[in-house]
Amino acid sequence: MSFHSFEDLEVWKKSCQQSVATIEALKGFKNRTLLDQMTRSCISVPSNIAEGQGRDAPRDFIRFLNIAQGSNYELRTQFYISQKAGLLDKETSCSLIEENKKISSMLHGLIQSVKRRTKEHNT
């Protein structure tokens, strides 16, 4: 895990792409409540990655990565609900869900990496 800034992290880049894809998919959404919630969720993922990395403390970084993971899970749930309610077509929601799962896996890997490096540094 060698990076200088959150902009170097592939998971941050992918989560920004997910945010843009989500916002694009939601154009014309009639359900304002779900639209607002999904917009907040998708933006929260890369924002928390950036904020955590900016804290410059491994413990804070892990905490914010966990928050990003929670927002990512929340967004995935909202994709499922939108599909079932007929607000997103199946092809779009399945594509968004698959990307969301990749981001979840990347976040999990980064969390584990930061934990390992922190443990190694403290021993």
pLDDT digits (tens, 9 = 90+) for 42-93: 999 999 999 999 998 999 999 999 999 999 999 999 999 999 999 999 999 9
Percent of the chain residues topping a pLDDT of 90: 86
CB 118 within 8 A of CB 66: no
**Residue 47 in tokens:** 């924002």
**Residue 84 in tokens:** 């079932």
Number of neighbouring beta carbons within 10 Å of residue 84: 11
Give the model's pLDDT for residue 66. Answer: 98
Write down the domain spans for the chain: 6-122
User: What distance in Å separates the CA atoms of residue 110 and residue 25, rounded to the nearest whole number?
Assistant: 28
User: What distance in Å separates the CA atoms of residue 123 and residue 69, rounded to the nearest whole number?
Assistant: 28
User: What distance in Å separates the CA atoms of residue 123 and residue 119, rounded to the nearest whole number?
Assistant: 6
Report the SS3 class of residue 26: coil
Mean pLDDT, the chain, whole residue set: 94
Question: Quick one: fold of 6-122?
Answer: de novo design (two linked rop proteins) (1.20.1440)
Report the SS3 class of residue 56: coil
pTM surpassing 0.75? yes
